[in-house]
Amino acid sequence: MPLRIIIQQPGQKFFNKLDMKKMNIREIDEKYYLPTFKRFPVTLVRGSNAKVWDDNGKEYIDALAGIAVNCLGHNNPAVVDALKNQAEKLIHVSNFFSNEPQALLAKKLAEISGLDRVFFGNSGAEAVEGAIKVARKYAHKNNRGGEVISFEGCFHGRTLATIAMGKEEQQKGFGPMPEGFHKAEFNNIDSVKKLITDKIAAIIVEPIQGEGGINNAEKSFLNELREVCDQNNIVLIFDEIQCGIARTGYMFAKDFYGVQPDILTSAKALGGGVPISAFICKEKIAGAIEFGDHGTTFGGNPLAASAALATLNEIEQKNIVDETRKKGEWFVNELRKKFSGNSSFVEIRGMGLMIGVVFKFETKELVAKMLEMGVIANATAGNVLRIVPPLTISYEELEKIIDVIDKALRLLNK
């Protein structure tokens, strides 16, 4: 009888032990992961379009989509195929070299945004940091200071510069904060004008605030911001990390408002679930940058860029922008019909499938109850139920979300 030699791979013994003991994934997570997220007691293991399943086989409608990330749903065939095909060819190269997916994606983003130059990163905060950096370089070349105006209720990320622009509660324990940031009142142009000096380099605004509670900018406000920036040679930055890439029923929310920024940031849905971000700017802003002024190791790598290209192509080919606008209008109307008579209901905010249902109470318990009933949503800004599902969600699934909200409210009232 021939001798059998079994070669055990490094770490295999450890994983065999895990299998034997059936160690709980959540126990591993709690032991080794930095305790910065208050996670739900659910481990998700697979997904398909607008549905996901946990490790016990329970099915959920995902009305959160990884916080507005999975715009084409989970495991979209076009994105999966693009990843498979690219992974077999080239996953990563240094940005000392050009690569085809990155170049084609830069061209695509410039064309659909109406802007000129693109820089890639990996996360939304990275895109915002890059936008601020480029805006400051442009300002200094034009004899202006490097200070930045943001807005109350904003959220631009979790890095030091981005929390310096955000809420004070996110800054506690992380001082000293970077200097040179000022805050104005959202939708109040007079509060902006009071802060304008030759020290201001840029104004950054979310056309629709996400973490702040799904707050829509007024058209007149964004137009007035554009006017103020033009008059003072200040860079206008639109943070479209959450509201961009068809989420609002427009490719970018700026298209609804009819206002063109000098720089636009994009992330979240850009890669259809794969981490990639970008800031896109006008040629005059890009002209301030010199070789070596900015850089990235992973930004725009072939794998992520392929996923983003597939995502954008799928959005165009499947007419996702128009479909999202129609679904959003129908969904908001149905929500109003169902809850306008509810004493705890306040209003509905948002656009497309970026929806905030405002109640008179904090919505964390409502979100937890909805999770028990098979719908994943999110509480933001205290009393806002945030619903940002895959744009490919069906009308039947949207109906189910409304039904679950209704049943969860009734149970909580009891």
Catalytic residue annotation? 155, 239, 268
Task: Report the distance separating Cα 91 and Cα 83, nearest Å.
Answer: 9
**∠ at Cα 260 (144, 269), nearest 5°?**
110
CA dihedral (13, 19, 21, 23) positive or negative = positive
Instruction: Please report, as a single letter, which amino acid is at residue 404.
Output: V
Q: Is 359 in contact with 345 (CB distance < 8 Å)?
A: yes
Token code pair at residue 44: 């998700």
What length is written for the chain? Answer: 414
Give the up-direction half-sphere exposure of residue 74: CA atoms within 13 A in the CB hemisphere. Answer: 17
Of residues 54, 46, 78, 104, the one with CA closest to residue 392: 78
**∠ at Cα 279 (305, 277), nearest 5°?**
40
Q: How many CB atoms lie within 10 A of CB 211?
A: 21
Task: Report the distance separating Cα 134 and Cα 139, nearest Å.
Answer: 9
Q: How many CB atoms lie within 10 A of CB 162?
A: 24
String of b and e for 301-334 (b: at least 16 CB within 10 Å)? bbbbbbbbbbbbebbeeeebbebbbebbeebbee
